Amino acid sequence: MKLMEIYAHNFKGFSELDIELQGKSTVFFGVNGVGKSSILALINYLFRPWCNRLNPSQGMAFSSLNDEQVHIGQTELQIAIKVTDSQKDYALNRKHRKTIPGRRGSSTIFPNEYLKLTNDIRSKVEKNDNLPIFVSYGTNRSVLQIPLRIRQKHEFTHFTALERAVDNSIDFKTFFEWFRNQEDIENEYIRDNGDNRYRDKSLECVRRAVEAMLDQVSDLRIKRNPVRMVVKKNNEEIMVDYLSDGEKCTLALFGDLARRLAIANPSKINPLEGDGIVLIDEIELHMHPTWQRSILSTLRKTFPNIQFIITTHSPQVLGELNDEYLIFHIQQLQQKEQIIKSIKRMDGFDSNYILENFMDTSSVNLDFQNKIKNAYKLIEANDFDEAEKAINEIIQITELNHSEVIRLEGALKRGKYLHEKYNKD
């Protein structure tokens, strides 16, 4: 399954939005409040009815659109996406009209395309084919709810892969229950067959996925008394609760996505090669800049057939984007209208260039910039004694081999040389 096109009319800050995605992984970036998360919300709203039809047991409502989502000054909105699966196209649409004097508001879901897509997917699964997944991850990914006990057995079918997929959070409780259930199956097989080398395929998918990003973490497992999830970090066993927020966030994201793929693709030799659409808001959340540099490439290698739709503020993330991704820069005009510009690739730009040219942010402290400008002005005015003092002040802030210090000292030497030369003449 691939997302091919996004359309919106009068949705939140967008009066008109029409983006061709061509089934490619996509990154949206821009300042806070410009509409990055609104685009993910739009996609999420349109997938909700489909997820509910395939997994109604969770009792998930369709989550109606509301008046607050209608663009300022307008009375109705429409959102739509075009999805393709098995060479068939599906157009999913929703509309909402505001309540105004003399007319009640209404929200409309157009059921025919949803029914076609749902029936086609059900038919595939009944033929032992694999289920494409959809899941949306919001910004509260580091909150891990580890149950102290499992009060009731959870049934895990193909369609469990879509359970709570649109909640914008990681369902770590279900992840924990599933992992423990699979460990019980794994341990039972080892006990009954005397094969200590046996590993459950779906558990191995999760372990591999987690270790792909957390290279110091291994051997994810459940301990029973008391019930807890543990890992080995640098060969020392620790509880998952004691990992850093960045590590927990990453473990939860990679682990939950791998679990969903393992459930949805039982007939695949490598379930991590399953397909689907995954939304991730603020991909860099809680991550060290080194991880921000590697997160996208690791996601692509670990889940090669997933189409990722991602938002970010991070110049480190943006600096890794090549032509495998579509890149859209969302900007806001003075009239509070959003515009979206397509950018070919950004892997040739360093973080400072991205900050200054795409994010309207200085790459260095403004006071520091002013000190540098002042030093150059003193050199241009041939006030070399004061210029030296200004440079020494900058050295106190940075260090002798700082690039700006080296350039300033070069400019000072050249200024003195030219001043002496022309004064002699």
> Of 210, 244, 272, which one is at a domain's C-terminal end?
272
Q: Is residue 164 one of the residues assigned to a domain?
A: no
Q: 1 and 119: one domain?
A: yes
* Percent of the chain whose predicted confidence (pLDDT) is above 90: 47
Of 335, 362, 389, the domain-final residue? 362
- Residue 374's alpha-carbon distances to 262, 368, 410, 416, 417, in angstroms, are 61, 10, 16, 17, 20
Residue 208 is encoded by which pair of tokens?
A: 């591999």
Identify whether residues 253 and 286 lie together within a single domain.
no
CA distance linking residue 260 with residue 322, whole number of Å: 27
On the 0-12 / 13-18 / 19+ scale of CB atoms within 10 A, 33 is: exposed
Q: Are residues 261 and 301 in the same domain?
A: no
In this structure, is residue 153 part of a structural domain?
no
Placement of tokens 């949803």 in the chain? 114
**Does residue 3 form part of some domain?**
yes
Residue 328 CB neighbour total at 10 angstroms: 19
Q: Are residues 180 and 242 in the same domain?
A: yes
- Whether 283 and 305 map to the same domain: the answer is yes
- Domain shared by 261 and 284, yes or no: no
Q: Which pLDDT tens digit goes with each residue over 70-124?
A: 998 899 999 999 999 988 999 999 999 998 888 888 888 888 999 999 999 999 8
Q: Tell whether 245 and 299 lie within a shared domain.
A: no
The answer to whether position 25 is within a domain reads yes
Do 182 and 207 belong to one domain?
A: yes
Q: Which of 154-163, 170-179, 226-235, 359-368 has the lowest mean pLDDT?
A: 359-368
Whether the pLDDT of residue 151 is over 80: the answer is no
Residues 351 and 287 in one domain: yes
The model's confidence at residue 214, banded by pLDDT at 50, 70 and 90, is very high
19 part of a folded domain: yes
Over 60: is that where the pLDDT of 36 sits?
yes
CATH number reported for the structural domain that contains residue 31 in this entry: 3.40.50.300
**Do 254 and 295 belong to one domain?**
no
Q: Are 370 and 326 in a shared domain?
A: no
Q: Averaged over 117-141, what is the pLDDT?
A: 89
Q: What is the largest CA-CA distance in the chain?
A: 99
| Residue 313 maps to a domain | yes
Pairing of strands 2-11, 14-20: antiparallel
d(CA 202, CA 266): 8
Please name the residue that has the structure tokens 């110049």: 315
Q: Which domain holds residue 188?
A: 169-272
- Assess if residue 137 is contained within a domain: no
Q: What pLDDT band is residue 370 in, cutting at 50, 70 and 90?
A: confident
Buried b (16+ CB within 10 A) or exposed e, 278-312: bbbbbbbbbbeeebbbbbbebbeebbeebbbbbbb
Supply the pTM of this predicted model: 0.85
Instruction: Answer yes or no: is 144 within a domain.
Output: no
Higher pLDDT, 244 or 335: 244
The residue whose two tokens read 């890992």 is 231
Q: How many domains does the chain have?
A: 3
Q: Which of 243, 272, 301 is the last residue before a domain boundary?
A: 272
So what's the pLDDT on residue 144?
Answer: 66
Of the pLDDT bands very low, low, confident and very high (cuts 50, 70, 90), residue 408 is: confident
Averaged confidence pLDDT in the chain = 88
pLDDT of residue 368: 82
126 and 12 belong to one structural domain: yes
